[in-house]
C-alpha cells in the first residue's frame, strides 16, 4: 500500500511568519493529495487538496505544491495567525480503492 511520510512533527512560528510542512509518498500512481487540519478534540477537516495534473493550488493564505517526479508535496501557510495552531495531516489516495493514507501529522504552534 501507499506510504506517506511527513515532516516536521512539530513546528513553532511567530505570528505573521510562514509555515511549511512537507510530505513524501511512495506510490507513483497516487493522484490525489489532501491536507487536513485537526483542532483539539475534533476530527480532521479538509483544508485544501491537489490533484496530480496540477503543480500548485492556492486558497487565500494556504497553498499546496506537488512535485510528481520527486513524489513530494508541501503545505504553505502565509501570514500565520494563532487560530492556525492545530495538527495538520497530509494524505495520499491509494489508487484502485478510495482509501486515504495519512502522514503522521505536524503540530503547528503560532506564537502571538
Partner 1 sequence: NAGVTQTPKFRILKIGQSMTLQCAQDMNHNYMYWYRQDPGMGLKLIYYSVGAGITDKGEVPNGYNVSRSTTEDFPLRLELAAPSQTSVYFCATALGTEAFFGQGTRLTVV
Nearest-CA neighbor of 1 among 22, 30, 24, 23?
Answer: 30
Smallest gap, in angstroms, from Cβ of residue 34 to partner 1? 7
104 lines the binding site for partner 1 (CB under 8 A): yes
The nearer residue to partner 1, 20 or 87, going by C-beta atoms, is 87
Identified binder of partner 1 from the candidate list 11, 49, 62, 78, rule CB under 8 A: 49
Nearest-CA neighbor of 57 among 29, 30, 35?
Answer: 35
64 lines the binding site for partner 1 (CB under 8 A): no
CA atoms lying within 13 Å on the CB side of residue 49: 12
Cis amide linkage into residue 27, ω under 30° from 0: no
Candidate ranges 13-21, 31-39, 55-63, 75-83; the one touching partner 1 (CB under 8 A): 31-39
Dist CA 86 CA 83 (whole Å) = 8
Given the rule CB under 8 A, which residues bind partner 1?
A: 1, 4, 6, 9, 32, 34, 36, 41-46, 49, 89, 93, 97-105
Amino acid at each position: 500500500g501507499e506510504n506517506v511520510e511527513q515532516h516536521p512533527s512539530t513546528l513553532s512560528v511567530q505570528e505573521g511568519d510562514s509555515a511549511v510542512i512537507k510530505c513524501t509518498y511512495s506510490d507513483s500512481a497516487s493522484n490525489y493529495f489532501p491536507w487536513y487540519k485537526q483542532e483539539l478534540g475534533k476530527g480532521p477537516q479538509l483544508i485544501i487538496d491537489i490533484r496530480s495534473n496540477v503543480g500548485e493550488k492556492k486558497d487565500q493564505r494556504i497553498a499546496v505544491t506537488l512535485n510528481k517526479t520527486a513524489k513530494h508535496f508541501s503545505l504553505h501557510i502565509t501570514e500565520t495567525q494563532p487560530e492556525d495552531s492545530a495538527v495538520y495531516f497530509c494524505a495520499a489516495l491509494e489508487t484502485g480503492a478510495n482509501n486515504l493514507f495519512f502522514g503522521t501529522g505536524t503540530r503547528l504552534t503560532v506564537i502571538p
